Homo-oligomer: A and B are copies of this chain.
Amino acid sequence: MSVDKLVAKIKDKSNPSIAGLDPKIDYVPMYLREKAYAEFGKNLKGASEAIWQFNKGLIDALYDVVPAVKPQSAFYEMYGLCGEEVLARTIEYAKEKGLYVVLDVKRNDIGSTAEAYSAAYLGKVDIDGVEAEPLPVDCVTVNPYLGTDGIAPFVKDCKKYDKAIFALVKTSNPSSGELQDIKIGDEKIYEKVAALVNKWGEETIGESGYSAVGAVVGATYPEQAKVLRKLMPKSYFLVPGYGAQGGNASDVKFSFNDDGLGAIVNSSRGIMCAYKKENAPEESFAECARKEAIRMKEELCSIL
């Protein structure tokens, strides 16, 4: 199973972290922006090419440190077709470098529409008998609000094509509780979703003991993570909110199982903008990102 691939890469690099590739334009060093604008214009194409150079530098600096990367689709969609093209190039390059790729798209729909989304990223598209893979990644994020109808097509492709998903359970943002924390008797909505995640994943357990259906559980809610860890013992957790959003290593430790596995902690801004935090020259962005990724790895390993 795909989750076994992820576990193997985490073990291989002794690093349960994932580098978010959320390239906001103001994260990109100005010298890269200016070079791209000079070549392609100050437009969607120029911005996208600057992002590509930034991503390439980051991947080159990180691929032997981190097991996985997580491009956030929004930051590519916002540059239209040029952005989408750079997303495809980024994914391709990360895979070439041996990285596990989680595409953060939070897609959600029903029936044949959910099938179409799954085909776009996890499965294959049938064109009157000819198969194509539009944008193949190892794993995508999905939103569970529509229930099983919205998830089953993805799970089917996880089995068929050896892929994985992370479903939103308890997100890291301040207002996540408005719906997710609503209490029904002794239970909260996110616990109901956790039960669904278990059910969705039950036929997809890999050799590592983990299922293809993981859960997004924010680092900013450690108490909830503790409960969710017990409720979904076989699900990998994708943990956003570490670093810039306020979650620290002691917060994320509850997302891991006793085997030191079960979670992969995301850092986006922390790694991408390490050069800014250190007031280092822009040209050293990749080196600074690498240093921060190593620091994060050591911090996470120290609590496991």
Contacts and interface: CB of A to CB of B under 8 A. Distances in A.
Interface of A: 22, 24-25, 33, 37, 42-44, 46-47, 72, 74-75, 77-81, 83-85, 88, 106-114, 116-117, 119-120, 125-130, 132, 134-135, 143-150, 168, 171-180, 182-184, 189, 192-193, 196
B168 A110 contact: no
Contact of A176 (B37, B47, B149, B183): B149
B174 A149 contact: yes
Contacts of A112: 24
Contacts of A148: 175, 178
A120 B179 contact: no
Contacts of A117: 74, 77-78
Contact of A179 (B126, B147, B183): B147
Contacts of A33: 128
A182 B179 contact: no
Contact of A106 (B107, B177, B182, B184): B107
A9 to B, nearest CB: 25
Counting chain B CB atoms within 10 Å of each CB, which of A178, A179, A192 scores highest? A178
Given A24-B112, A109-B106, A144-B145, A78 B179 contact: no
B184 A182 contact: yes
A24 B111 CA distance: 12
B173 A192 contact: no
A273 to B, nearest CB: 12
Nearest to A240: B110
B175 A43 contact: no
Contacts of A83: 134
Given A79-B125, A110-B171, A176 B192 contact: no
A114 B173 CA distance: 12
A143 B174 CA distance: 17
B78 A119 contact: yes
A113 B78 CA distance: 10
A113 B268 CA distance: 12
Contacts of A43: 127, 130, 132
A183 B182 CA distance: 10
Nearest to A22: B113
B146 A116 contact: no
A128 B179 contact: no
Contact of A111 (B173, B177, B196): B173
Contacts of A175: 146-150
Contacts of A37: 128
